[in-house]
């Protein structure tokens, strides 16, 4: 197999609840300009391929937005496609880009993701649109919502393992605190476990401060062969090379009911991790991974994730999280960016933002207050729905 | 570079204006059963990866349909993603699948595409939804429709080259006649050039019989390394191996107005062909390609395509088509399946159906009345919108 691609350059906008007075193309262009500065390039003329990453035609009331974005950022007439898989969209796009480079189809590919919850989403229609991301034939009419599905899953985890609300409140506190050290974060907060426990119940046991954010934002990652990056990105050699070394992907039923009775954990995530670890040659994830961005759509999901990713055994996620093992000064800092809870989640860009955080950690280029010292290998965990699609991507610094 | 994948097996439903009493999952399952029979396999348990291909969340009023389809056809917990690019969706999914196999990410991958114009599309809303596939910011409010954009393009072609309505009516007649030899075709017709010319004006110079169909249907192609296909598909060795040997992709502005004054031909298609021919080592397309499925969304588009694909020089498409050069007994039979005009166009499945027709032609497995004798190399041409994204895929028989 050919060498995996390197992360040649990255870019993003700030993440916000709403970027007013602009549309998806404007946000995308801003992220591209940030990426060009990061690469030290004047324009994208050398880049051979694009891949667009956004979740839904509904959010923008626009079909084939990928074609519009490709033109907006000046990549026509070069090849492109749109990759999608709910919340896993950005991570799936990176995975497809990996295959494009390693197969030799191109030597450089820009993965660009954006979400602008504008035209298609108002407070009136947001729940309706999110209900379309559950199974419309079977769940829509019973009023099923993802908050409810996630709540049922963590309830099962609590019942099986004694996981507590205080334990997952720790995630809600820590990730929002980490966000305070990330200049692009949407909603850094300095809160306590008691604040989380006292916040408005949404779908018990989840309360308002256990829930992640709905965000506008754009991000992009330029993947390339190392030779291409060296030849075309003037700033590439200023940083240690970071390779996108492995990718795994698992899937599961769309409906939670079809998974009964095992709903305490995510089968798709275990499968994705299994594949990625096999590809990266990892047998002891906790020891061999130095930094990780996990998909904390709800605080308890991080507890489930650290188990499904093999950082701790099943059922041990709650105590491990509450002990601080995944805090900035813990064994394996996770969600140093602030995660979906603190940095925010512009859906199609989320997986890309996770990859950016990991790459910047491996470059030792983030705010010292959130830097994982000496990190050599990082992981991103991203999923759709209740992990109907799950992706684990692994990045490695190789000096 | 590793060997390209082979077409291990193919499957599809019949294509119809409306498949009643079923949904997208039912159609997908039917195509999969057809594919299993074609492969001689009992189930998909050996298949390593899926890729979903459908155009819009709007058609089905369902987001992340790819996850539902992956489960419906029994591929969970294996990896998947959805690839999208308007009308080019199916061809883009095959292109991405090519990269998945050649990169070594997997040895087998099922590309499955479906469109069911059900819940989300009624006669009342169809135009509204199709308008969402133009540029909503700039074209929606002026009432721009694709029929109008295509009409403007062929008008420019007529003005530049003297192309006539009779010439493109020939395409409308021939492709519908070819459809008569294809058992899955939606609307075979035995009509004359005069019938086309006398049909209802839609957007002049295009008349009703110059316009392609809106279709329900599903199709899938199993791509794999030759070794995998030989090991897992009992019927694979009954046919000569057909390789998916090359793929090109080009893009262009979404808006026709941004292309002015050159609107007689498709820049993205020329770029896609250039890449694919370079990859396949083709320098004389007309002589080196034996059969082709072209994206005849409107009859005149085939005339533009034979030029953009280099089968004839710019401006010579009209006379060449009318001379019968691309008829079943011509130099290079095109749209032997009936094309979008006669076989129909279930959007996300269209590019897959084109690949199936080409593979079956190379296997010499179609109805003798539409078989291109001794065909060794075939091409598919698929695009989104007015070719904002264009894909050329090439398949070769190598005994």
B203-225 b/e (C-beta count within 10 Å ≥ 16 → b): bebbbebbbbbbbbbbbbbbbbb
- Closest Cβ–Cβ partner in B67, B249, B258 for A86: B67
- Closest Cβ–Cβ partner in B58, B253, B272 for A76: B253
Of B11-25, B168-182, B350-364, the poorest mean pLDDT is in B11-25
Q: How far, in whole angstroms, is CA A330 from its chain's centroid?
A: 21
Q: Which region, left, alpha or beta, applies to residue B50 given φ > 0 means left and ψ of -120 to 50 means alpha?
A: beta
Q: Collect all residues of chain A within an 8 Å Cβ-Cβ radius of residue B98.
A: 103, 105
Using CB atoms within 10 Å of the CB of residue B235, give its burial: 0 to 12 exposed, 13 to 18 middle, 19+ buried. middle
Find residues 252-311 of chain A whose CB sits inside 8 Å of chain B.
Answer: 252-254, 258, 267-268, 271-272, 275
Distance CA B305, CA B74 (A): 38
Q: Kindly report the average pLDDT of chain B as a whole number.
A: 95
Distance CA A85, CA B52 (A): 10
Find residues 119-138 of chain B whose CB sits inside 8 Å of chain A.
Answer: 119, 129, 132-133, 135-137
Are B388 and A64 inside 8 Å of each other by CB?
Answer: yes
> Rounded to the nearest 5°, which phi and psi values hold at B46?
-80, -20
Q: DSSP state, B210?
A: G
- Closest Cβ–Cβ partner in B56, B119, B249 for A79: B249
Tokens of A209: 């401060």
Distance CA A223, CA A2 (A): 14
- Closest Cβ–Cβ partner in B71, B268, B275 for A253: B71
Tokens of B158: 């007529």
Are A80 and B389 inside 8 Å of each other by CB?
Answer: yes
Cα separations (Å) of A62 from A129, A345, B140, B380, B385?
14, 20, 10, 27, 13
Whether pLDDT at B123 is above 70: no
Q: Collect all residues of chain B within an 8 Å Cβ-Cβ radius of residue A96.
A: 81, 83, 96, 99-100
What is the average per-residue pLDDT within B34-47?
98
Question: What proportion of chain B, given as a percentage, has pLDDT over 70?
Answer: 98
Find residues 349-368 of chain B whose CB sits inside 8 Å of chain A.
Answer: none
User: How many A/B residue pairs have CB atoms within 8 Å?
Assistant: 219
Residue bearing the bigger pLDDT, B132 or A223: A223
Peptide bond into B312 cis (omega under 30): no
User: What pLDDT score was predicted for residue A279?
Assistant: 98
- Closest Cβ–Cβ partner in A1, A133, A267 for B64: A133
- Closest Cβ–Cβ partner in A84, A136, A253 for B84: A84
User: What pLDDT score was predicted for residue A1?
Assistant: 64
- DSSP reduced 3-state for B367: coil
pLDDT digits (tens, 9 = 90+) for B209-267: 999 988 999 999 999 999 999 999 999 999 999 999 999 999 999 999 999 889 999 99
Measure in Å the smallest separation between the Cα of A391 and chain B Cα atoms.
Answer: 8
Distance CA B100, CA B80 (A): 11
Looking up tokens 């590439």 gives A236
Domains and CATH numbers, chain A: 6-123+215-238 (3.40.47.10), 126-213+244-397 (3.40.47.10)
pLDDT digits (tens, 9 = 90+) for B163-195: 999 999 999 999 999 999 999 999 999 999 999
Tokens of A54: 């956004």
Q: Collect all residues of chain B within an 8 Å Cβ-Cβ radius of residue A56.
A: 57, 63
Q: Which region, left, alpha or beta, applies to residue A62 given φ > 0 means left and ψ of -120 to 50 means alpha?
A: beta
Dihedral sign of CA atoms B161, B162, B167, B172 in order = positive
Distance CA B361, CA B84 (A): 26
Are A67 and B248 inside 8 Å of each other by CB?
Answer: no
Nearest CA in chain B to A61: B132
- DSSP reduced 3-state for B365: coil
Q: Which of B4, B21, B7, B5 is nearest to B363 (CA)?
A: B7
Tokens of B223: 């791509």
Q: DSSP state, B218?
A: E
Measure in Å the smallest separation between the Cα of B188 and chain A Cα atoms.
Answer: 30
A326 in contact with B, Cβ within 8 Å: no
Nearest CA in chain A to B61: A132
Measure in Å the smallest separation between the Cα of B378 and chain A Cα atoms.
Answer: 20
A13-36 b/e (C-beta count within 10 Å ≥ 16 → b): bbbbeebeeebbbebbbbbbebbb
Looking up tokens 């096999």 gives A278
Are B82 and A85 inside 8 Å of each other by CB?
Answer: yes
User: What pLDDT score was predicted for residue A127?
Assistant: 72
Find the Cα–Cα–Cα–Cα dihedral A24, A25, A27, A33, rounded to 10°.
160
User: What pLDDT score was predicted for residue A50?
Assistant: 98
DSSP symbols for A368-382:
TTT--TT--EEEEEE
Looking up tokens 């883009």 gives B92
- Closest Cβ–Cβ partner in A68, A102, A254 for B104: A102
Residue A390, H or E segment = strand A389-397
Q: Collect all residues of chain B within an 8 Å Cβ-Cβ radius of residue A389.
A: 64, 66-67, 70, 80-81
Q: Does residue A104 contact residue A44 with C-beta atoms inside 8 Å? A: no
CA atoms within 13 A on the CB side of B223: 30
Are A388 and B99 inside 8 Å of each other by CB?
Answer: no
Q: Does residue B253 contact residue A25 with C-beta atoms inside 8 Å? A: no
Distance CA A308, CA A258 (A): 19
Strands B291-293 and B377-384 turn out to be parallel
Distance CA A219, CA A9 (A): 11
CB atoms closer than 10 angstroms to residue B53: 33
CB atoms closer than 10 angstroms to residue B46: 15
Distance CA A138, CA A237 (A): 53
Distance CA A87, CA B113 (A): 21
A371 in contact with B, Cβ within 8 Å: no
Strands (E), A35-100: 50-53, 82-84
Are B389 and A102 inside 8 Å of each other by CB?
Answer: no
Distance CA B225, CA B4 (A): 7
Peptide bond into B298 cis (omega under 30): no
DSSP symbols for A176-194:
HHHHTT-TT-S------HH
Q: Does residue B1 contact residue A104 with C-beta atoms inside 8 Å? A: yes
Tokens of A377: 């290998």
User: What pLDDT score was predicted for residue B56?
Assistant: 84
Per-residue model confidence as pLDDT tens for chain A (399 residues)? 689 999 999 999 999 998 888 999 999 999 999 999 999 999 999 999 999 999 988 888 889 999 999 999 999 999 999 999 999 999 999 999 999 999 999 999 999 999 997 666 666 677 777 778 888 888 877 878 899 999 999 999 999 999 999 999 999 999 999 999 999 999 999 999 999 999 999 999 999 999 998 899 999 999 999 999 999 999 999 999 999 999 999 999 999 999 988 999 999 999 999 999 999 999 999 999 999 999 999 999 999 999 999 999 999 999 999 999 999 999 999 999 999 999 999 999 999 999 999 999 999 999 999 999 999 999 999 999 999 999 999 999 999
Distance CA A65, CA A81 (A): 10
Of A213-217, B119-123, B342-346, the poorest mean pLDDT is in B119-123
Measure in Å the smallest separation between the Cα of A155 and chain B Cα atoms.
Answer: 23
Q: How far, in whole angstroms, is CA A237 from its chain's centroid?
A: 26
């Amino acid at each position: 197999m050919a060498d995996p691609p390197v992360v040649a350059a990255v870019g993003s906008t700030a993440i916000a609840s709403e970027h007013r007075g602009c549309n998806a193309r404007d946000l995308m262009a801003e992220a591209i300009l940030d990426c060009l500065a990061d690469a030290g390039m004047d324009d994208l003329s050398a880049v051979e391929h694009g891949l667009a990453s956004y979740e839904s035609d509904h959010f923008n009331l626009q079909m084939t937005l990928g074609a519009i974005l490709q033109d907006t950022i000046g990549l026509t007439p070069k090849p492109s496609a749109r990759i999608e898989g709910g919340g896993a969209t950005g991570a799936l796009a990176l995975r497809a880009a990996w295959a494009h480079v390693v197969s030799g189809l191109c030597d450089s590919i820009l993965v660009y993701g954006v979400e602008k919850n504008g035209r298609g989403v108002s407070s009136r229609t947001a729940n309706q649109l999110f209900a379309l991301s559950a199974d419309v034939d079977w769940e829509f009419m019973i009023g099923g919502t993802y908050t409810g599905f996630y709540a049922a899953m963590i309830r099962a985890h609590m019942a099986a393992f004694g996981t507590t609300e205080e334990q997952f409140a720790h995630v809600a506190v820590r990730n929002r605190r980490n966000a305070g050290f990330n200049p692009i974060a949407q909603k850094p907060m300095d809160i306590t476990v008691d604040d989380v426990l006292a916040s408005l119940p949404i779908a018990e046991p989840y309360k308002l401060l256990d829930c992640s954010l709905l965000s506008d934002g754009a991000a992009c990652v330029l993947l390339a062969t190392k030779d291409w990056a060296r030849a075309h990105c003037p700033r590439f050699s200023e940083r240690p090379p970071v390779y996108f070394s492995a990718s795994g992907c698992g899937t599961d039923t769309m409906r939670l009911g079809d998974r009964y009775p095992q709903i305490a954990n995510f089968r798709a995530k275990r499968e994705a991790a299994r594949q990625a670890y096999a590809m990266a040659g990892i047998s002891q994830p906790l020891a061999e991974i130095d930094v990780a961005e996990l998909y904390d759509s709800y605080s308890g999901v991080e507890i489930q994730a650290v188990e499904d990713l093999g950082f701790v055994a099943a059922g041990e996620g709650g105590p491990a999280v509450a002990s601080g093992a995944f805090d900035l000064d813990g064994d394996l800092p996770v969600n140093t960016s602030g995660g979906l809870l603190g940095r925010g989640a512009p859906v199609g860009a989320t997986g890309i933002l996770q990859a950016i955080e990991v790459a910047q950690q491996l470059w030792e280029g983030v705010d010292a207050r959130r830097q994982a010292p000496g990190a050599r290998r990082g992981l991103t965990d991203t999923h759709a729905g209740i992990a109907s699609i799950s992706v684990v991507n692994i990045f490695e610094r190789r000096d």
